[in-house]
């Protein structure tokens, strides 16, 4: 499997307040990779590092085969970027912004820009400073898609948008990926939104990547187990135990990652009775991954 983004053993520290710690992360070529995590978890910092805006203290970053930050200029010519905050000149109109952006990218598709402008109902002579947050978000995505980029890096592209605009933006993104076989890294704290479009998921918390897995495994491999006589010995488990809580003298609830039906035999062999195996929705799975990672961090500390 080839990777559009490969990050290995990355460290970066901002004083004593925050650090990216030993981050290893790989975005498969052609994937829509949901980069999830609560606000302040390190998603935007990681994106700035992989785009060469900052230099890491240790580790390596490769984007589209180019070493970052050394060869960032070669990679960025093939990357479309939508930052978390508007980065366009407020005094320019929509059409002037398109013309300005076009100069920097030889692959820019002017006809596609016009088509998207009409689809997004953006007025060509409206000043950027007068755009609503939703309109500005659509304009930034329009510019990134019109580049015909091999890799799209989108930092909270739908944050604060109303549901109608959000769905419109995501639909345009999915259509672009299908037509051009592009790779997408999209960061968000809106878990349910990513379920509809992503096929890979990475979860950040406290500057660490606590999980990286296919969406199918994220959606279906995290379960809540109701057990009687849960085993006390934790060694040899065929799954990852995220949390364990007692619910009586003999009963317990476990949340596990990597569950498969045949693993029930392991629990029975350890003397446990499996009373129920329950699916978690995507948001509950996300929360349990964070809880499990934070518990491990506390134990290690």
Q: Please name which of 146, 137, 117 lies closest in space to residue 186, comparing C-alpha atoms.
A: 137
- pLDDT at residue 267 is higher than 80: yes
- pLDDT, mean over the chain: 89
Count of Cβ atoms closer than 10 Å to residue 103 Cβ: 8
Selection from 166, 84, 88 nearest residue 129 by Cα: 88
Say which residue, 25 or 17, is predicted with more confidence.
25
* SS3 state at 96: helix
Distance CA 41, CA 128 (A): 30
* Global pTM value: 0.86
Residues 134-163 have a mean pLDDT of 89
pLDDT at 299: 63
Query: Cα separation of 177 and 68, whole Å?
Result: 24
Per-residue pLDDT, averaged over 89-100, amounts to: 96
The predicted structure's pLDDT at residue 84: 82
Q: At the topology level of CATH, where does 221-300 sit?
A: Alpha-Beta Plaits (3.30.70)
- As a whole-number percent, the residues of the chain with pLDDT over 70 amount to 97
Provide, rounded to the nearest whole percent, the portion of the chain with pLDDT above 90.
Answer: 57
Q: What are the pLDDT digits (tens) for 161-213? A: 778 888 888 888 889 988 899 999 999 877 877 888 899 999 999 899 988 98
Structural element, H or E, at residue 32: strand 32-36
Q: In this structure, is the dihedral angle defined by the CA atoms of residues 77, 79, 85 and 88, taken in order, positive or negative?
A: positive
For domain 3-216, the CATH superfamily is P-loop containing nucleotide triphosphate hydrolases (3.40.50.300)
Q: How confident is the model at residue 300 (pLDDT cuts 50, 70, 90)?
A: low
Task: Domain ranges for the chain, please list them.
Answer: 3-216, 221-300
Is 232 in a helix, a strand, or coil? Answer: coil
């Amino acid at each position: 499997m080839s990777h559009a983004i490969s990050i290995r053993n990355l460290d970066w520290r901002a004083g004593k307040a925050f650090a990216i710690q030993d981050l290893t992360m790989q975005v498969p070529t052609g994937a829509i990779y949901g980069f999830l995590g609560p606000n302040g978890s390190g998603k935007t910092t990681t994106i700035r590092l992989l785009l060469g805006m900052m230099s890491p203290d240790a580790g390596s970053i490769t984007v589209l085969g180019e070493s970052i930050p050394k060869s960032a200029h070669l990679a960025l010519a093939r990357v479309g970027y939508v930052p978390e905050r508007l980065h366009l000149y407020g005094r320019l109109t929509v059409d002037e912004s398109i013309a300005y952006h076009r100069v920097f990218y030889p692959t820019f598709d002017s006809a596609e820009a016009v088509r998207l402008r009409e689809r997004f109902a953006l007025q060509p002579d409206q000043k950027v400073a007068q755009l609503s947050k939703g309109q500005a978000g659509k304009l930034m995505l329009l510019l990134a898609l019109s580049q015909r980029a091999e890799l799209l890096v989108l930092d909270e592209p739908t944050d604060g948008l109303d549901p109608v605009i959000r769905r419109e933006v995501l639909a345009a993104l999915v259509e672009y990926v299908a037509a051009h076989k592009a790779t997408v890294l999209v960061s968000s704290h809106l878990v349910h939104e990513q379920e509809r479009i992503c096929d890979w998921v990475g979860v950040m918390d406290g500057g660490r990547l606590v999980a990286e897995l296919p969406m199918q495994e994220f959606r279906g491999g995290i379960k809540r187990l109701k057990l009687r006589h849960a085993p006390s010995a934790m060694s040899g488990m065929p799954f990852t135990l995220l949390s364990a809580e007692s619910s009586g003298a003999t009963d317990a609830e476990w949340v596990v990652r990597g569950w498969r039906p045949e693993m029930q035999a392991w629990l029975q062999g350890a003397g446990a009775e499996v009373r129920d195996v329950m699916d978690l929705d995507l948001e509950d799975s996300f929360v349990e991954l964070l809880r499990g990672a934070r518990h491990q961090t506390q134990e290690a500390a």
